[in-house]
Structure formats: C-alpha cells, structure tokens
C-alpha cells in the first residue's frame, strides 16, 4: 500500500520552478540594456552577429520561463492526483477493515438476514473505488539553440567597436549569468530530489535541466567571444577590422577540457573529471591568465590546491588594484552590489584572515596537514564571497564546514579563522590518529537583520553550499573524507538546512548552534545527513527573535540536543555570537558548546 511520492520534494520543485521563472523574467531588462549599450559603438557584420545572438538569448529565455511555469502547473496537477490516490488507498483500506468487522458480526446473525444487511451496508457504506488514480506524465521540456559567432568574412567587410565597452558588457553578462547559475543549481537539485523520491510520477521529457545548462553555456560562450574580439580591437589600436580577422580572433578557443571546467552549467562531477583530464601542474595553474584564474576560483569541484593557487592570485591582484578586480567581477553592473570602498575593505580583511590561517596551520599537529587554503573567491548576489580552509581539504580524513549567520561578510575572516583553529585543535586532541580540515565558508550573501525572517538568502546560499559540499567530495577522485560535518550558526543553520536537502553526497553530522530555525517544510529525515544536533545558550536572546517565522530545531523529534551551559572545566555561552571579542561565544575557547561541537567533529557525538 502507498505510492512513491514525497510531497515535500514536489512542493520544493514547484516553488523553485516558479521562483526561478520569476527571476529569469526580471533579468530580461538587464540583458536588453546590456545589448543596447554594446550596440552604441558597434557596427558591421559583427554588430549584427551580436544582435542576433542577443535575440536568440532573449527568445530562449522566454521559452525557458514558459517551460518552468508549465512544469509548476503540471506539479500542481500531479500533487492533487497523488493526494487523491493516497486518499483512495486510505479509504479503501479503511472500508475493508469495516467490512471485516461486519463479516464477524454477520456470522452470529445467520443466513436469513445476511442479504438484507449486505444491501444495507452497500447503501450506507459503499465501497470506495478500486481503480487507481493514474498520474499525468510530467513533461519538463526545453532545448537551447546554438548561436552563430563568425561571419564567414571572406567578402572584405569590416566591423568596428569600442573594446572597453565590449569588455564592460561581457563583465556585466558574466555577473548576470553567475546569479542565473545559482538558479540553475537550485532547479537541478530540486529536480534530482523530485525524481528520486517521486517515482510514482512518470516523466516523458526531462530536457529542461540539460537545456538550461546549454543556455548558460551559450551565454558564457557569448561573453568569452566579446572578450576575444575586444582584445583584437584593442591590439589594433581601435578603428575597424576585417571581418575575416575577427573570425579568426573570435573563434580562438581554450582547450575543450578547460572549457568544460569553466562552463557554468557543468556539475561538480563533470568539473572534477574535466580537470583530471587536463593534467595541469601547479605551475601551469600559476601561468594561466588572471581572468581564467578568477573563473577557476569560483568553481566547485576543483582540487583545493588548484583552487587555492587561483584564488590567492586573484586576491593578490585585488589587494594591488581593487578597482580592476571589482570590475572583472562585474560588481559595478550588479544591482545592490557592495561598493568599491567596502569591497576594498573586505579584500584586505580576507588577506589578513588568510595570513592568520597560514600562521595557524604552521602550529597544527600531524597528521593534520600544516596548510591553509583559500578555496574560493567570487561573488553571490552582489557580495564578495570566499572560503578559507585550515588544513588540507584535499587529504583530510575529517572535513568540517562552518556556515556563519546574518550580517556576516568576508570582513570577519580573521575572527572566523581563529574559531576554526580552536575547533580543529580540540577535535585533534580527541582523535590524534585522524587529520582534520575546518572550512570557514563565506559562500553566500548573508542577510541583513531586516532580511532574517525571509528565506531568500538561505535559498540562494543553500544552493551555493550544496555545490561546495558536493565539490569537496567529487574533487578527491574517489578518496572522499571519512567524515563530513556541517556547522550552522544562527541564520547559517537555516542556509545549511536548505543545502542538506539538496546535496548528492551524504553528510555525517549537522550541528546547529543559536539557530534562527528551520522552515515548516524542513524535517531532519528529509536532509541528506545521518545525525542532526542542536544547542542554544540560555543567555542567547537573539536566536528566538530570528525564529519568529520558523521552527526551533531543538523541538524536532529526531534532533539530538546538547548543552551550552557551564560544565566542569568549561564556560556557558553569554550571548548569540559565534566568537566575540568580549564574553563567551559558541566557538570561544573554553566554552561548553565549542567542546561538544569538537567532540561531534572528532567522534560523531558529544561527550
């Protein structure tokens, strides 16, 4: 009895499809403005090629939106059908039980009255339908079109453009596509979860996610094409160029495997496989152009050592010339983005945090590797994002990822690295045979205080974190960590819960501390994690305020709760902060909460 249909997965996919469709519609105006900007000083056959490519992108975007809307509509239908079938099965089972009870009564009544009583029962309690409800097959159909980027310019035609304007347009497009790539991750994760848990619903066409990936790949190819022809115009000193020359410049291509690595639609598995096929040495990565290293810094699925080389190179460039990297990231063209002055301040703080990680790593006890790694540098929703690992993320047997809460930026990197060092050192004393890596993950735009009641930042951040976690496993070429723990402080726990509903790889432990809560749709048994833990200090009066619209994880039946109050040799948490300068935070040295969390990291349980 029963059908294979998890309603929560269907609801998540339905909401995701509707929200992403809305986001894609909203992005159309920005795309149109970029095209108008590019065409102001662009003329000739190449201007027409660009205009045609923009038209195809715009039309395909409309088709993609319609496909997502249509998928949402179909999900409404199959949910209703699933509910009808579940109700039918329940009613039929209940009727059979009543029939069994009536048969027992009729045995004592005798044969003469049985026909009359049977007829009466059929009128008063008719048998529910025995015909199963058949679900309508689901169709998730979308295919992106290939765009033409050469003019076959043997006719002697010439084209002209302002190279700086083309570069600005390309940077703006990449910034827009980075946000769209996050939406793709959400759709992909929600679709995989739905098809895994809702096998009762047949699927006739599943081309939407691959088509979405192809659409983003075409967008990335357009941006790279604009950069290449801008370089050609700049090298020529301006003016016009032969369409034949531009055909040669515009068609120049990176190695196919490197293109696959840089493709924003590639999964972390595909990134890891393509990178392995390249066989690049550390020196090769160092020699890549800065723009390519900037792209590598933001890609999950790369080995940590390669990502560290690329990310450090970009960080050095950002420290030396913040405005240049600010523009390369497309931040001047991103609505609501962090300003250049704040970007510069955060870059310097990130540098200081990385230096502290390098210094702390030198004091780590073997077998933990004495290295610090910058395993990310990029943007999300207009904010600078990054991740710092204390210990070698490529080799550590125990990996921990700590997700901070509201208002956190990379400007707090030094503080978070100090917290990571305390956790790692305490965990290593618990288990001296294992190696550890603790990642301070600043991979999403944390909400401002007014945004905390909303779920938007957690939704985007959860997709980013799921990709990072899967990439940390996939990049290790069949040698995954023995244990992975995810820690979520405050709103970071809400974000982590979103991620753990989407990861492909199983997580061993999820620890929430000072949590602002889970949504009603989030239950521990729906997360891809073995054990969920929670703690909150009695003097933390902030977490409850943030939970106004959410459920306290400590109230959920499958969550294991541990104390943050004073104990022999440890101190009680005195507020809401993770690692405050004054008072006792959840991860402060000597706190009860930090000791128990380190025990979970080392042994899988507190105490």
Q: Can you give the pLDDT at residue 237? A: 78
Any idea which of 92-101, 113-122, 264-273, 286-295 has the lowest mean pLDDT? 113-122
CA 37 to chain centre: 31
Q: Which of 550, 564, 481 is nearest to 522 (CA)?
A: 550
Distance CA 212, CA 214 (A): 5
How far is 231 from 331, CA to CA, in rounded Å? 21
Q: For residue 507, what pLDDT band results from cuts at 50, 70 and 90?
A: very high
What is the rounded distance in angstroms from the CA atom of residue 381 to the CA atom of residue 337? 7
Q: pLDDT > 90: what percent of the chain?
A: 78
pLDDT at 252: 61
| Assigned token pair, 148 | 């033409």
Length of the chain in residues, anyone?
Answer: 607
Mean pLDDT over 397-412 rounds to 97
The strand pairing partners of 532, in sequence order, are 510, 559
Using alpha carbons only, how large is the chain's radius of gyration in Å? 28
When pLDDT is averaged across residues 414-435 and rounded to a whole number, the result is: 96
Strands (E), 327-407: 372-380, 383-390, 398-403
Query: Is pLDDT of 286 > 90?
Result: no
Q: What is the DSSP string of 145-195?
A: PP--------S--EEE--HHHHHHHHHHHHHHHHHHHHHHHHHHHHHHHHH
Q: What is the pTM of this model?
A: 0.82
Report helix, strand or coil for 502. Answer: coil
| Least confident among 151-160, 270-279, 396-405, 468-477 | 151-160
Choose the weakest-confidence range: 231-240, 275-284, 329-338, 585-594.
231-240
For the segment 547-566, the average pLDDT, to the nearest whole number, is 94
CB 419 within 8 A of CB 587: yes
Structure tokens at 576: 């809401």
Q: What is the 3-state secondary structure (H, E, C) of 275-335?
A: HHHHCCCHHHHHHCCHHHHHHHHCCCCCCHHHHHHHHHHHHHHHHHCHHHHHHHCCHHHCC
**Residue with token string 């069949």:** 478
Q: List the end-to-end C-alpha distance of the chain, in Å, as a whole number.
A: 42
Listing DSSP states for 24-38 in one string gives HHHHHHHHHHHHHHH
The pLDDT score that the predictor gives to residue 242 is 83
- Nearest CA among 413, 429, 467 for reference residue 578: 413
pLDDT at 101: 81
Instruction: Give the whole-number percent of the chain exceeding pLDDT 70.
Output: 95
The neighbour count for residue 434, using CB atoms within 10 Å, is 19
Please, which pLDDT band fits residue 152 given cuts at 50, 70 and 90?
low
pLDDT in tens, 88-106: 999 999 989 888 887 776 6
Residues 6+ apart with CB under 8 A from 576: 490, 514, 540, 541, 542, 543
Cα–Cα distance measured from residue 269 to residue 271, given in angstroms and rounded to the nearest whole number: 5
3-state secondary structure of 483: strand
Burial grade of 565 (CB within 10 A; 0-12, 13-18, 19 or more): middle
CA distance 190 to 76: 15
Higher pLDDT, 589 or 242: 589
What is the CATH class of 349-603? alpha beta
In the predicted model, is pLDDT for residue 155 greater than 60? no
Residue 274 reports pLDDT greater than 70: yes
CA distance 406 to 518: 15
Long-range contacts of 357-363 (CB under 8 A, 24+ apart): 357/388, 357/389, 357/390, 357/417, 357/420, 360/390, 360/417, 360/418, 360/420, 360/421, 361/390, 361/391, 363/421
3-state DSSP assignment of residue 436? strand
**Mean pLDDT, residues 350-361 taken together:** 96
Q: State how far the Cα of 317 lies from the Cα of 308, in Å rounded to an integer.
A: 14
* Domain parsing of the chain, residue ranges: 7-99+161-253, 349-603
Listed residue (289, 297, 235, 226) closest to 261, CA to CA:
297
Could you give the CA distance from residue 9 to residue 521 in angstroms, rounded to a whole number? 9
pLDDT of residue 272: 95
pLDDT at 293 over 80: yes
Please give the torsion angle defined by the CA atoms of residues 425, 429, 431 and 436, in that order, rounded to the nearest 10 degrees: 10
Average confidence (pLDDT) over 156-161: 85
Whether the predicted pLDDT of 280 surpasses 70 = yes
State the Cα angle at 332 between 461 and 176, rounded to 5°.
50
């Amino acid at each position: 009895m029963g059908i294979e249909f998890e309603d929560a997965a269907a609801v998540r996919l339905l909401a995701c499809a509707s929200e992403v469709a809305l986001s894609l519609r909203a992005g159309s105006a920005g795309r149109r403005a970029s095209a108008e900007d590019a065409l102001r000083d662009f003329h000739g056959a190449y201007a027409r090629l660009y205009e045609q490519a923009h038209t195809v992108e715009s039309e395909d975007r409309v088709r993609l939106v319609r496909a997502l809307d249509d998928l949402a509509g179909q999900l409404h239908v199959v949910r209703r059908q699933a509910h009808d079938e579940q109700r039918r099965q329940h009613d039929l089972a209940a009727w059979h039980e009543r029939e069994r009870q009536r048969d027992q009564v009729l045995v004592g009544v005798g044969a003469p009255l049985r026909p009359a009583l049977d007829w009466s029962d059929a009128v008063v309690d008719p048998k529910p339908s025995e015909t199963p409800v058949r679900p309508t097959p689901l169709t998730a159909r979308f295919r992106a079109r290939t765009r033409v980027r050469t003019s076959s310019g043997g006719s002697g035609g010439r084209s002209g453009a302002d190279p700086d304007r083309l570069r600005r347009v390309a940077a703006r497009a990449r910034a827009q596509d980075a946000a769209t790539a996050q939406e793709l991750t959400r759709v992909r994760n929600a679709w995989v979860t739905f098809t895994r848990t809702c096998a009762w619903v047949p699927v006739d066409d599943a081309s939407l996610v691959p088509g979405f990936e192809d659409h983003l790949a075409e967008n990335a190819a357009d941006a790279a094409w604009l950069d290449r022809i801008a370089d050609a115009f700049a090298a020529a000193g301006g003016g016009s160029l032969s369409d034949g020359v531009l055909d040669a410049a515009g068609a120049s291509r990176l190695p196919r495997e490197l293109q696959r690595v840089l493709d924003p639609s590639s999964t972390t598995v595909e990134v890891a496989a393509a990178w392995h096929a390249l066989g690049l040495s550390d020196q090769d990565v160092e020699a890549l152009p800065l723009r390519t290293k900037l792209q590598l810094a933001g890609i999950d699925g790369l080995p940590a050592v390669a990502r560290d080389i690329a990310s450090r190179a970009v960080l050095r460039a950002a420290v030396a010339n913040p405005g240049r990297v600010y523009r390369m990231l497309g931040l001047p063209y991103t609505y609501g983005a962090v300003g250049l002055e704040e970007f510069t301040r955060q870059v310097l703080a990130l540098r200081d945090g990385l230096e502290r990680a390098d210094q702390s790593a030198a004091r780590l006890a073997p077998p933990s590797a004495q290295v610090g790694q910058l395993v990310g540098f990029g943007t999300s929703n207009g904010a600078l994002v990054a991740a710092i690992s204390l210990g070698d993320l490529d080799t550590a047997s125990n990996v921990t990822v700590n997700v901070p809460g509201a208002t956190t930026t990379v400007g707090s990197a030094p503080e978070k690295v100090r917290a990571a060092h305390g956790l790692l050192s305490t965990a290593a004393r618990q288990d001296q045979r294992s190696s550890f890596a603790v990642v301070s993950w600043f991979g999403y735009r944390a909400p401002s205080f007014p945004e905390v009641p909303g779920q938007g930042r957690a939704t985007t951040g959860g997709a980013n974190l799921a990709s990072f976690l899967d990439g940390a496993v996939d990049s290790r070429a069949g040698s995954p960590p023995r244990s992975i723990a995810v820690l979520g402080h405050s709103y970071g726990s809400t974000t982590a819960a979103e991620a753990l509903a989407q990861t492909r790889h199983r997580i061993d432990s999820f620890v929430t501390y000072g949590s602002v809560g889970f949504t009603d749709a989030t239950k521990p048994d729906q997360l891809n994690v073995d054990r969920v833990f929670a703690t909150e200090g009695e003097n933390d009066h902030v977490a409850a305020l943030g939970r106004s619209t959410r459920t306290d994880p400590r109230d959920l039946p499958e969550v294991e709760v541990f104390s943050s109050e004073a104990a022999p040799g440890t101190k009680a948490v005195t507020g809401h902060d993770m690692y405050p300068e004054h008072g006792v935070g959840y991860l402060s040295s000597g706190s009860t909460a930090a000791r128990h969390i380190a025990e979970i990291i080392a042994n899988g349980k507190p105490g």
